[in-house]
């Protein structure tokens, strides 16, 4: 998830690019760069770190060229955060530059093919194959738009790109497939960007590119073509009426809500290129464990804090069922002060959105001291936890601005399930039939989550008004949904400041049942196809008999649940393994909407920070 901006017109280019990148920096802040046409050649200036580092470099440039340019702020996915991995990237002669947001899945194959033809690469990124592919087509005699179109036909994955060429400095090319891209239509100038905020200072007239479309922009024209066959496409111009603050959130009131809605894409990005949709086989060489090391494992120890700890608890159910290894899930803040019963045959899995969580990092270091292998699950390339682990599964969720974790959590659940499938196939503890079933269910999840949000959000918004004045809330789940009850309670208390507790439903009679009365709402997670469904219904009946108000999440068409619960929210039927992802979504929305009604600061709740980097 990176930010890109492009401009063609008569303005001074550098101020336009920097202002656009400033408004896109929430999409990535590992590095930034710009390219522009100056005195007959392309100049590329890049800097590691946040945008102000690039601004300082450009302040000393001493020129203010006009005409055409591209800018990029990076959220690293391939290649560590470094100046040589920053965008824009060029071809062999540096006559053509590209900025890219997305993931090129077949870049290893493409890079090998291009290197055999003599192409020299300067970075570790997947993006760099694109300018070299375009260069190949230009040398074959095609013009720039056709060269871009033909090059992209060889690419597998997701992309939103901007391209310009020194031999056609009046023309900017934009193209999109499964990554957002918007065009800004001005008078005597045109723009392209990953998101609307980047172009709002200059125009509110926009065209939204759809998947499989490309645009040819000059200062006076905008032509849309099909990437598949080059035919012209007519597109309507829309008028944006957002204010600047709303625009940075893409029209959403808060970053948290925006990030809840981004979950289908974040989940897809996490398994994209790693899961074969035909065979269900998983390929994650980045974990850096040999088959022999995987087979020698005797135990798994998951290390995490907060929301990531809840993801780890879900992982315990999955690993023990399908990998047949004992799993311990440890809080980083506790594990580091214990006597450790782990050794070289233990795999440690630290889970952290930022990769800088202090307690998790300290616990990882202790585990490494006694010889344990480590495979991290993390969202930030090059972070400390990833550097100190043997390998890493990156979640590719993109920056998460809201303090309360949403898309990072469901991406972690996705990564854990991928690792379970991979270990299951390596250790032959998971049959081919079961692997295919689980893989098919995971492949459906992005679509199911998208439809689920669309369906339940209005229902949840109505429920929030009824529950806003409650002072206590109890969340109940069983088996693999018990950790989701913990996560739902955590979300409610951290952003709405309502006291909430999550419990394994069978434990309710061992204490919490004493709290149940007409003033204690209970959230029950009860999918009809789970093997503990009947037990869950019994627990709901226990609440009902004590006049408790029951809000239940369950399967569409479940009449039994509708009869015993006070209110129900229906979810699509899903497999056991992916149910934690789907059942998380309504709980995130409920916490969000209750917090909004109560007037809380949703994105920056009191006393909390996004990344806990101190003890």
Q: List, for residues 55-103, the tens digit of each pLDDT value.
A: 888 887 877 899 999 999 987 777 777 888 888 998 888 899 999 988 8
- The whole-number pLDDT of residue 611 equals 57
User: Is there a domain that residue 144 lies in?
Assistant: yes
- The whole-number pLDDT of residue 504 equals 92
Q: Tell me whether residue 165 is exposed, middle or buried, using C-beta atoms within 10 angstroms of its C-beta: 0 to 12, 13 to 18, 19 or more.
A: buried
Do 184 and 301 belong together in one domain? no
Do 470 and 334 belong together in one domain? yes
Nearest alpha-carbon partner for 283 in 357, 393, 150, 146 = 393
DSSP-derived letter for residue 25 is G
The first and second tokens of residue 426, run together, are 């390596």
Q: Say yes or no to pLDDT of 191 above 70.
A: yes
User: Is there a domain that residue 610 lies in?
Assistant: no
Quickly count: other Cβ atoms within 10 Å of residue 285's Cβ.
10
Range of the domain at 195: 3-243
- The whole-number pLDDT of residue 614 equals 40
Do 284 and 433 belong together in one domain? yes
Final residue of a structural domain among 243, 277, 309: 243
Catalytic residue of the set 154, 470, 535, 610? 610
User: Is there a domain that residue 603 lies in?
Assistant: no
User: Is there a domain that residue 104 lies in?
Assistant: yes
Strand pairing class (521-526; 549-555): parallel
User: Is there a domain that residue 22 lies in?
Assistant: yes
Do 211 and 272 belong together in one domain? no
CA dihedral 334, 337, 343, 346 (to 10 degrees): 10
CA dihedral 372, 376, 380, 386 (to 10 degrees): 20
CATH number where 130 lies: 3.60.20.10
- 451 a catalytic residue: no
Q: Say yes or no to pLDDT of 612 above 80.
A: no
Give every CB contact of residue 398 below 8 A, 6+ residues apart in sequence: 1, 27, 28, 75, 262, 266, 269, 379, 407
Do 372 and 447 belong together in one domain? yes
Q: What are the angstrom distances between the C-alpha of 290 and each of 284, 285, 307, 386, 426?
A: 11, 9, 30, 18, 10
Final residue of a structural domain among 243, 274, 292: 243
Q: Say yes or no to pLDDT of 200 above 90.
A: no
Do 235 and 286 belong together in one domain? no
Do 182 and 328 belong together in one domain? no
Q: List, for residues 138-189, the tens digit of each pLDDT value.
A: 999 999 999 999 999 999 988 999 999 999 999 999 999 988 888 999 999 9
Asked if 405 and 297 touch (Cβ cutoff 8 Å), the reply is no
Q: List, for residues 317-364, the tens digit of each pLDDT value.
A: 999 999 999 999 999 989 988 887 899 999 999 999 988 888 899 999
- The whole-number pLDDT of residue 475 equals 96
- 92 a catalytic residue: no
Do 132 and 85 belong together in one domain? yes
The first and second tokens of residue 349, run together, are 């899995």
Q: Say yes or no to pLDDT of 385 above 50.
A: yes
User: Is there a domain that residue 93 lies in?
Assistant: yes
Final residue of a structural domain among 183, 209, 243: 243
Do 568 and 525 belong together in one domain? yes
Q: Tell me whether residue 228 is exposed, middle or buried, using C-beta atoms within 10 angstroms of its C-beta: 0 to 12, 13 to 18, 19 or more.
A: exposed
User: Is there a domain that residue 396 lies in?
Assistant: yes
Q: Say yes or no to pLDDT of 452 above 90.
A: yes
Q: How many structural domains does the chain have? A: 2
The first and second tokens of residue 434, run together, are 């079961």
Do 554 and 582 belong together in one domain? yes
**Which residues is 502 bridged to in the sheet?**
475
Do 120 and 13 belong together in one domain? yes
CATH number where 333 lies: 3.40.50.10490
Residue with tokens 């379970």: 420
On average, the pLDDT of the chain sits at: 91
Catalytic residue of the set 2, 222, 301, 305? 2
- ω into residue 88 within 30 of 0, thus cis? yes
Do 68 and 208 belong together in one domain? yes
Q: pTM of the entire structure?
A: 0.77
User: Is there a domain that residue 513 lies in?
Assistant: yes
| Edge-to-edge order in the sheet of strand 222-226 | 89-90, 96-104, 157-165, 172-177, 213-217, 222-226, 232-233
């Amino acid at each position: 998830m990176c930010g890109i901006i492009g401009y063609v017109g008569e303005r001074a280019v550098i101020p336009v690019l920097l202002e656009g990148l400033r408004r896109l920096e929430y999409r990535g802040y590992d590095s930034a760069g710009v390219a522009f046409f100056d005195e007959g050649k392309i100049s590329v200036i890049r800097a590691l770190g946040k945008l102000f580092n690039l601004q300082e470099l450009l302040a000393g440039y001493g020129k203010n060229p006009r005409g055409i340019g591209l800018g990029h702020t990076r959220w690293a996915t391939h290649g560590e955060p470094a100046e040589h991995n920053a965008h824009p990237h060029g071809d062999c002669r540096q006559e053509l530059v590209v900025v890219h947001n997305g993931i090129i899945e077949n870049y290893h194959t493409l890079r090998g093919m291009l290197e055999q033809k003599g192409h020299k690469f300067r970075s570790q990124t997947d993006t760099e194959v694109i300018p070299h592919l375009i260069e190949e087509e230009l040398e074959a005699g095609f013009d720039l738009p056709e060269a871009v179109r033909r090059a992209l036909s060889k690419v597998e994955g997701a992309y939103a790109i901007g391209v310009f060429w020194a031999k056609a400095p009046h023309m900017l090319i934009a193209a999109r497939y499964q990554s957002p891209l918007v065009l800004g239509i001005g008078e005597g100038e045109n723009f392209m960007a990953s998101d609307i905020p980047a172009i709002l200072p200059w125009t509110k007239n926009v065209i939204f590119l759809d998947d499989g479309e490309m645009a040819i922009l000059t200062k006076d024209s905008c032509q849309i073509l099909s990437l598949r066959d080059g035919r012209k496409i007519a597109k309507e111009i829309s008028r944006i009426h957002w204010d600047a603050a709303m625009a940075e959130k893409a029209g959403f009131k808060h970053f948290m809500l925006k990030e809840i809605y981004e979950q289908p894409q974040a989940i897809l990005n996490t398994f994209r290129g790693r899961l074969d949709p035909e065979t269900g086989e998983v390929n994650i060489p980045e974990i850096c464990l040999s088959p022999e090391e995987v087979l020698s494992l005797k135990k798994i120890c998951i290390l995490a804090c907060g929301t990531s700890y809840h993801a780890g608890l879900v992982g315990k159910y999955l690993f023990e069922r399908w990998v047949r290894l004992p799993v311990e899930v440890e809080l980083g803040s506790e594990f580091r002060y214990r006597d450790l019963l782990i050794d070289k045959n233990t795999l440690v899995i630290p889970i952290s959105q930022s990769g800088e969580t202090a307690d998790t990092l300290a616990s990882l270091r202790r585990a490494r001291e006694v010889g344990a292998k480590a495979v991290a699950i993390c969202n930030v390339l090059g972070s400390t936890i990833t550097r100190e682990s043997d390998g890493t599964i990156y979640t590719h969720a993109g920056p998460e601005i809201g303090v309360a974790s949403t898309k990072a959590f469901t991406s972690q659940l996705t990564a854990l399930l991928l690792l379970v499938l991979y270990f299951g196939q390596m250790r032959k503890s998971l049959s081919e039939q079961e692997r295919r079933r689980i893989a098919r269910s995971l492949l459906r999840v992005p679509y199911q989550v998208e439809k689920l949000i669309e369906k339940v959000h209005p229902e949840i918004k109505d429920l929030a008004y009824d529950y806003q004045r409650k002072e206590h809330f109890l969340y109940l789940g069983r088996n693999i949904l018990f950790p989701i009850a913990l996560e739902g309670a955590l979300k409610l208390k951290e952003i709405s400041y309502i006291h909430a507790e999550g419990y394994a439903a069978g434990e309710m009679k061992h204490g919490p049942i004493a709290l149940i009365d007409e003033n204690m709402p209970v959230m029950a997670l009860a999918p009809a196809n789970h093997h503990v469904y009947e037990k869950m219904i019994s627990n709901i009946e226990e609440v009902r008999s004590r006049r408790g108000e029951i809000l239940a999440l369950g399967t569409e068409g479940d009449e039994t649940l509708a009869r015993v619960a006070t209110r129900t929210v229906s979810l699509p039927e899903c497999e056991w393994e992916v149910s934690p992802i789907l059942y998380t979504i309504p709980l995130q929305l409920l916490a969000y909407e209750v917090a909004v009604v109560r007037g809380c600061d949703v994105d920056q709740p009191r006393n909390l920070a996004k990344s806990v980097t101190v003890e």
